Structure 1
Amino acid sequence: MSSNRFHDNAYMSICSEKTLQSNEKGFFMQFYESVAATAGEDWIKNVFGKLKSDRERIRIIYDDPKIRETVFSTLCYVQEIYRKKSAEVAQARRFDAQKAVTNGNQMKGLMLYSQSVLRAPKTGENPKIDDGFSLVLALWERSELLMRLNYHSLALRDIQFAIKEGLDSDLKGEAFERMAVCYKAKGEMKRSSVSAELARKLYADDPDKIKRLNENLNKEYKEVTKICRRRKPEIPDRHPNFPQATRKMQVKQEVGKGRYVVASEPISTGETIVCEPPYAACLVPDCFGTHCHHCMDRLESPVGCPDCASVAFCKAECRDEAMATYHKFECKFLDLLIGSGMSILSHTSLRMVTQNTPERMYAINKDRSLERIYSLCSLAENRASDDFLQRTLMAAFLLRCLQKSGYFGYVDEDVYPNDNQMAVGELLLFHLQMLQFNAHEIYETKHKEGHKFQNAVASYVGVAIYPTVALFNHDCYPGVSRHFVGKNIVINALRPLNPGELIAENYGPIFTRRTLADRQKSLSGRYWFPCGCQACNQDWPMIDGLGNSSRRIRCPTKKCTYLFTLPIPNENMKCPRCKKKVSMTDNVMQMKICEEQYVAGFEYMEKQEVDKGIEVLCRAVDTFHRVSAPPHRETHLGQESLRTMMADYGNVYEIADIAA
């Protein structure tokens, strides 16, 4: 690190701290500073700093008499703090929704009904408000509004949920009537007929209601569905050891480089290299009200956790999956976790535990080879003593939350961990190191009013760890792009890759947008390495600095690496490197065609014809790398456009959507 002239120790320290605690107002740093003050610099450096394993680090903070009391005095106060359900609030939001709809503001009404659903307690829990039916009433009234807005699939789900929650028997006939209408709008005529027949039986003594039912069924309905281009690509020929990846890649390992990925066969621009679900993923707290806590899809007509009012799920299936694993342990500690000021990476460290059973975690601690994720780098050998102490105390805090949540099978009032709990603490400490260098931010693309590509903004919604993609090294001129489909990461080739060539992604600083000094400072501070890629070694100019001098063509002689700068005086020349007389006519023509294809690709993008734009630009980028070499302004602009259009198949949010 010291050999990197751009390295900044102070910046590195700030970056490292931010990966642990992102909110300065949280109480965790006060906890750390209190322990550090008690321990003193000498103890941190010469006692704690001499420890060689995570097991020793976890144990010493509970056992060493110098800091034990200070540690215990904070951990003993860990308790449930979460946003509770409230029938009063649910009722008030429902009344507000009714007013909004009456005043013609249906979308505001929908938002308020959803808030009512999320804040409502279980049926019967508070009989003093709405006779205990706050949740049922919120679902019932929201379904009516959803039908009015032609969101029949969402309305149907609410009706079925209301019935399950104990809808009054007097409303059952109307419930089946609504279901019949919703099924008809969805084109499911058989189910519509069954629901209508059930409604008729319940309406047997009321001819007016039967007449209304028949009239409603004779109407034509339009089902509003979102136009969604999102798709998870198929990988036809998968890698035998990395089933989420193509067999055209190979993982290698080398001293000084660690593990990295190379092409084992030719890969063309645009090819999908990896499509991988996360090992663990967490939604950022700022998105708790807009995205599903489990799958990270945008919320339209959300359902809530049965116990807390902190999170929302897009559908019952997501809620049930979350409740069956991690959320039942995190639920009542969410506000405490957020209030600690811990980073989303710290939460992901916890999620890696809560999504598994204790028995699974004990087994992993004994044999880390059970999960590939535990072979990823943590750079423990380069970590400073005070940084290690911060992470160890965070691991202890997270472990205390697990003890109090019943994760280990009971609520443990004893702060001191038993051996099994200590093993989980050891894994938490590893997670807090490993995630710093291997996690990925999940994002969606927001389209504002007007042209979606001109106004597109990437919005950060979560963090995840992907075992295969974490093996990819960095390059300031990356060979791949990434986008997300839900929580799945999709890696596509951004330029042609030859056998043996490094397949590298970009960790953030790309040469076209940031200077060499800025990139090197960022990478050494955030990821602890000096970048030695071609763009850095040759100090390529940023996009605005690339002019006509960047137009070059290759010598056509096989294996010759010489590049002629355009324009050339004669298309029949002697190559200064291979000394052969060569004809440049074909390469010059191919370069001209390539540049014409870039223009065509940009035009397709302007017209928002994504499929055609991707096809043309992929062909152009392949052609360019065959006859020329980067840097080249039009090529990099083409790759930027290609990246943007490929992301249009991933998480995209239109401002005009229902969740707006």
Structure 2
Amino acid sequence: MEIYKKDGFFQNYCETARKDISSNKFNEFAQLDNDEKRFGFIKSMKSIITDLKLSHQFNGKNLEKSLQFKNLGNKAFQKESWNEALAYYNMCYLSIPDSNEQGKAIVLANRSAALYHLEKYDLALKDIQRAIGHQYPKEMMYKLRERQARCYLGKKDHVSALKSFKETVQALDDCQLPLERRQKLERDAQIMINLLPRNIEAEKKLTKSKKSAGVTSKKSAIPEHFVDKALYFDYTENEGRFAKTNSDLKPNTILLLEKPYVSVLLEEYSLTHCSRCFKRASVPICCPKCSDVIFCSENCAKSSSFHQFECGFLPILWKSGASITCHMALRMITQHSEEYFLKLRSELAALSSKETDKLTNDDYRKVYKLVTHEEKRSAEDFFQRSLMANLLNACLTLGGYYSTPESESYIGGLLLHNLQLLQFNAHEISELQRESERDIGNSVFIGGGLYPTVALFNHSCDPGVTRHFRGNSICVRTIKNISADSIVAENYGPIFTQVSRDERRNTLLHQYKFECSCRACGENWPKFADMNPNILRFKCDGSKICSNVLEIPAEVNEFMVLCTECGEHTNIMKGLKSLQDTDMLFKSATKLHSAGEYEVALAKYVEMMNIMNEVLVPPYRDYHLCQQGMRSCMLEFGNRYIKTKSNK
């Protein structure tokens, strides 16, 4: 995986730096035996901050631009184009300078009005509170209190609505409206103040009757982190650590739910998704200083301490052409303090797997020992990554991360280490995007994440699991039957149904430094397009334990088939009847999938696969069509976005 793209300034800088170093100096660099020394060598040779004239870049805040967006939002609001108004108010809020406190309050109030008309009452209420917190004008406060009351009415929270209508009456004392207009608003509020106590009393009686009847409305909580008890991790010298199962696994078993150690959005999604949790933020919270990121809530904004050291430097990273793994390498540092890493310094190298397995996912020690293939890297590779580590370190230096210069070389070495381990352990985070509700959709790469447990899964070109994402959390599910004591493998990119063996192996060797020996490669399974639909691959059903595959023409006349391996006969009549059932199940599942009944469709696909698993042996077309149907259903349980729906 390349650490930079060719359309950024880093490539030219790297090529120039390489030309400037003499052969003797480069040989000296090539002999260095650890990352801290490599980082320090390049730092002593190049002053990146001076060479590239690096400094904070706060380009997004602009009062004139924010006023233009507000005016466009107001025009859209007057036309009752609520979604359009919301979009403009978001852009206004993002671009308004932090010093303009009252301007912020007014645009937040305007945004709350658009949200109210969209019946997004909870979001509107949050914006009302934000507007009040930003010193919304006292003479206009009656508008917010009345809107707050209407939002609570929409939520059927009549107690809060009553309180807000009373606050509306009080706020009218400070308004500057003509007397007649003010009196009308006061009369309207008083009518609600008189009516609501009856509603509240009726609600109390209804709640009491529900309690006496034993009616509850508890929802089962979805855990943030979960590892199936069947999953464990083995080790061999050749394969390292890898996932296995100690019991039989059925298709659609959730094996793992995991939050990332680190995650980063691509630049093109930095203003549509929350920088911390990756949820789409239709009502964003912005950074006071920059317009490069957004958050979905105050909680996410407060929990994103990493941004204080990245604020003003993201445009530099993006312009440099640095890959997303470079940004992840930086954030692996910025989400902890300098002091945190200094405390870990003496124990990082001595960590064992047993120790790291017990650590939480936010602990750097959990990921430090992940494979880097340091021994297979060339001096040229180390040179480029060391130079990139120095660019990332420049952001830390200018961002005020360091309290003492002595720690810079050590942290720089960790940046270089991070760049190496991320190459082999990071995952692309995806979102299923559709142009319309009827569109089949595409799984789109929106960011990257490092998942300490999933990173231990080995590869197969015929994987046993698939993954989807909820925000930036990963969910791993089985897509076939996996027998006890078997490897549980995921896929690193090329799947045998789509890519030839030679191409797959070349890709994996180049990118991940291993030659694949999975079953699909070992037996050189055909691509999906090359599978013969007229041949069925039956399991030998003889009394002896036999792993032979009986390849039978689809139009067969003999139902007792002799196995050439064990010498016994298999009656394929039962299998043929079962396959008739799978045809019906597939049609039913496909229809349910198209209708949006994803849970039911998935259950049909699972039933179909279990039937096929009893009698047939992959590879064969129906099996892999069934798997693809399962994957498509599972994607529906993760990140999804329908473009036209959001614009209605």
Is TM > 0.5 for Structure 1 vs Structure 2? yes
Deviation at 1:653, TM superposition (A): 0.5
Distance 1:72 1:104 in 2: 52
Deviations 1:608-632 (A, max 9, x none): 2211110011122123223211111
Q: Is the 8 A contact 1:445 1:457 kept in 2?
A: yes
Q: Does 1:496 align with 2:490?
A: no
- SS of the residue 1:566 aligns to: strand
Q: Does 1:62 align with 2:62?
A: no
Deviations 1:39-86 (A, max 9, x none): 135543x222222211221222234xxxx2x44574683321232422
Name the aligned partner's letter for residue 35 of structure 2: D
Match of 2:370 among 376, 383, 405: 376
Match of 2:441 among 456, 471, 479: 456
Larger deviation, residues 211-220 vs 486-495: 211-220
- SS of the residue 2:345 aligns to: helix
Deviations 1:397-456 (A, max 9, x none): 1112112111124xx8xxxxx33221111111011001011101111001222524xx21
Deviations 1:624-643 (A, max 9, x none): 22321111101101111110
- SS of the residue 2:241 aligns to: strand
Name the aligned partner's letter for residue 194 of structure 1: K
Match of 1:547 among 493, 511, 532: 532
Deviation at 1:547, TM superposition (A): 2.2
Name the aligned partner's letter for residue 525 of structure 1: H
Deviation at 1:545, TM superposition (A): 1.6
Alignment of structure 1 residues 254-265 onto 2, 5 Å: 254-265=236-247
- SS of the residue 1:553 aligns to: strand
Name the aligned partner's letter for residue 173 of structure 1: Y
Distance 1:479 1:233 in 2: 24
Cα 1:73/1:479, change in 2 over 3 Å:
closer
Q: Does 1:430 align with 2:411?
A: no
- SS of the residue 1:83 aligns to: coil
Alignment of structure 1 residues 274-285 onto 2, 5 Å: 274-285=256-267
Which residue matches 1:297?
A: 279
Deviation at 1:586, TM superposition (A): 3.3
Which residue matches 1:212?
A: 188
Name the aligned partner's letter for residue 435 of structure 1: L
TM-score of the pair, normalised by structure 1: 0.86
Cα 1:244/1:48, change in 2 over 3 Å:
farther
Distance 1:444 1:474 in 2: 22
Q: Is the 8 A contact 2:102 2:137 kept in 1?
A: no
Q: Is the 8 A contact 1:181 1:216 kept in 2?
A: no
Distance 2:638 2:497 in 1: 24
- SS of the residue 1:437 aligns to: helix
Name the aligned partner's letter for residue 372 of structure 1: K
User: Over aligned residues, Cα RMSD in angstroms?
Assistant: 2.4
Distance 1:614 1:267 in 2: 16
Which residue matches 2:505?
A: 520
Match of 2:144 among 153, 160, 175: 175
Which residue matches 2:321?
A: 341
- Kindly indicate whether structure 1 or structure 2 has the higher relative contact order, using CA contacts under 8 Å at least 6 residues apart: 1
Which residue matches 1:656?
A: 644
Distance 2:388 2:154 in 1: 52
Cα 1:591/1:103, change in 2 over 3 Å:
closer
Cα 1:41/1:245, change in 2 over 3 Å:
farther
Q: Is the 8 A contact 2:436 2:645 kept in 1?
A: no
Distance 1:442 1:77 in 2: 33
Alignment of structure 1 residues 259-658 onto 2, 5 Å: 259-322=241-304, 325-368=305-348, 369=351, 371-409=365-403, 418-452=405-439, 455-557=440-542, 559-567=545-553, 568-658=556-646
Name the aligned partner's letter for residue 577 of structure 2: M
Deviations 1:522-578 (A, max 9, x none): 222222222111212222222122223442111123531122223454333432212
Runs of 4+ in 1 over 6 A off after TM superposition: 215-220
Name the aligned partner's letter for residue 395 of structure 1: A
Distance 1:619 1:214 in 2: 61
Deviations 1:305-349 (A, max 9, x none): 111122112222211211xx1011111212122222211110000
Q: Is the 8 A contact 1:520 1:531 kept in 2?
A: yes
Cα 1:293/1:216, change in 2 over 3 Å:
farther
Distance 2:436 2:415 in 1: 44
- SS of the residue 1:180 aligns to: helix
Deviation at 1:289, TM superposition (A): 2.1
Larger deviation, residues 583-592 vs 163-172: 583-592
Which residue matches 2:130?
A: 161
Cα 1:138/1:72, change in 2 over 3 Å:
closer
Q: Is the 8 A contact 1:365 1:427 kept in 2?
A: no
Q: Does 1:96 align with 2:64?
A: no
* Identity among equivalent pairs (%): 28
Distance 2:527 2:222 in 1: 32
- SS of the residue 1:298 aligns to: coil
Which residue matches 1:223?
A: none
Q: Does 1:83 align with 2:48?
A: no
Larger deviation, residues 73-82 vs 531-540: 73-82
Cα 1:615/1:51, change in 2 over 3 Å:
same
TM-score of the pair, normalised by structure 2: 0.88
- SS of the residue 2:610 aligns to: helix
Distance 2:35 2:158 in 1: 61
Name the aligned partner's letter for residue 344 of structure 2: I
Distance 2:309 2:49 in 1: 23
Deviation at 1:120, TM superposition (A): 1.3
Cα 1:139/1:508, change in 2 over 3 Å:
same
- SS of the residue 2:123 aligns to: helix
Residues paired across the two proteins, number = 601
Distance 2:192 2:381 in 1: 67
Distance 1:513 1:654 in 2: 27
- SS of the residue 2:546 aligns to: coil
Name the aligned partner's letter for residue 155 of structure 2: K
